[in-house]
Amino acid sequence: MSKIITAEELAPKYIAYQHERHDHPEKHRLLSSGLRDLDGVIGGGYERGQYVGIAGTEKAGKTTLLMKHMRAIADQNINTLMFSNEMRDMQIGTMLFSTLTRIERTKIRAMGLEIADWELLDRAGEKIAKLTLSFDFGTFDIDAIPDAIHEVEAKTGERVEAVGLDYFHLMDDPDFKGNSVDKFSSNSLKFKRWTFLDDIARLWLVAVHLNREASKANIVATNYFLGTGQLERDFDIAEIISKIKDPVGTSDEFLPFIRRMSVVLSRETDVGDCKLFFNGATATLADLADESGRPPRRSWE
């Protein structure tokens, strides 16, 4: 369905929109990514209506980064929905509670919690329960995504303003005929069109794999998104997270606890990069300056 507006209609609508933004800035503010350095690179935060891609090599931290963004946006009282194509509800819970308490996920899974850990879980639970964040772990048909969004809006009584999707390559389109690379391109175009055709401007974030060649060589380049250049053309912002080679180690050794994020705007405009602290054991990503030389912190400290 097309969206048509004449210049005569546009002029007063635009002026009214700017008045609305200035009268109610809290409704139109940029949304923090949860990472101060990244916010600085992209101009202060995300805009509603943007389509953001999160990409990386194997085990670089894509899901952790997406969860970091979604939790940060929900912390700003924005109704947020994350589609998880990898984790069920209790696995999502393990990731969230581990991040907030800094209790390692393996310890939680192995039922090795100690007395002091239960207090940390209770405090984290109080914080998590206040998040305006919902999860969908059963939608794999891309055309069912709008229905899931409407279901969350009906359940919460608030419109969903930010949508995240993990493991983009697992989304299916039963009506699509063609190879997998063409399907990825088609699915990405649907996301891009939704940013234009939705009645409200939503922020869309998706996590995608770099292809096998890029993963093996730790290559950071947008044209390696799932083997297609369509995603690079669709994304307004691409965040490419990668491991950093250890300068004193062997060729296949990487620095522990550090990741590089390269930020690319549409049409492959490289706008900068930043280094992040990463701990896969607790699903933690943070600005490197916040973690250097400090003991692990809980989210409420």
Q: What is the mean pLDDT of residues 58-66?
A: 90
Is 4 a domain residue? no
Query: Which residue range is the domain that position 54 belongs to?
Result: 32-211+222-291
pLDDT in tens, 161-180: 999 999 888 888 888 888 88
The answer, as to whether pTM is greater than 0.85, is yes
Lowest pLDDT segment from 30-39, 41-50, 191-200: 191-200
Q: Which amino acid is at 132?
A: T
Q: What is the pLDDT of residue 16?
A: 95
Q: How far apart are CA 86 and CA 54, in angstroms?
A: 16
Is 20 a domain residue? no
Using only C-alpha atoms, what is the Rg of the chain? 20
Is 25 a domain residue? no
The domain tally of the chain equals 1
Is 26 a domain residue? no
CB of 78 closer than 8 Å to CB of 132: yes
Q: Which amino acid is at 158?
A: E
What confidence category does residue 219 fall into, taking pLDDT thresholds of 50, 70 and 90? very low
* Residue 122, CA distances (Å) to 101, 116, 126, 208, 286 in order: 10, 10, 6, 33, 23
Q: Which amino acid is at 65?
A: L
Q: How many CA atoms lie within 13 A of 12 on its CB side?
A: 2
Is 8 a domain residue? no
Is 217 a domain residue? no
Is 24 a domain residue? no
pLDDT in tens, 92-137: 999 999 999 999 999 999 999 999 999 999 999 999 999 999 999 9
Is 229 a domain residue? yes
Instruction: Report residue 284 as tokens.
Output: 């933690």
- CATH at 122: 3.40.50.300
Q: In sequence order, what are the residues at sequence separation of 6 or more whose Cβ sits closer than 8 angstroms to the Cβ of residue 292?
A: 277
HEC secondary structure over the chain: CCCCCCHHHHHHHHHHHHHHHHHCHHHCCCECCCCHHHHHHCCCCECCCCEEEEEECCCCCHHHHHHHHHHHHHHCCCCEEEECCCCCHHHHHHHHHHHHHCCCHHHHHCCCCCHHHHHHHHHHHHHHHCCCEEEECCCCEHHHHHHHHHHHHHHHCCCCCEEEECCHHHCECCCCCCCHHHHHHHHHHHHHHHHHHCCCCCEEEEEEEECHHHHHHCCCCHHHECCCCHHHHHCCEEEEEEEEECCCCCCCCEEEEEEEEEEEEHHHEEEEEEEEEEEHHHCEEEEHHHHCCCCCCCCCC
Q: What is the pLDDT of residue 215?
A: 46
- How deeply is 184 buried, as exposed, middle or buried, from its count of CB atoms within 10 A (0-12, 13-18, 19+)? buried
CB of 222 closer than 8 Å to CB of 36: no
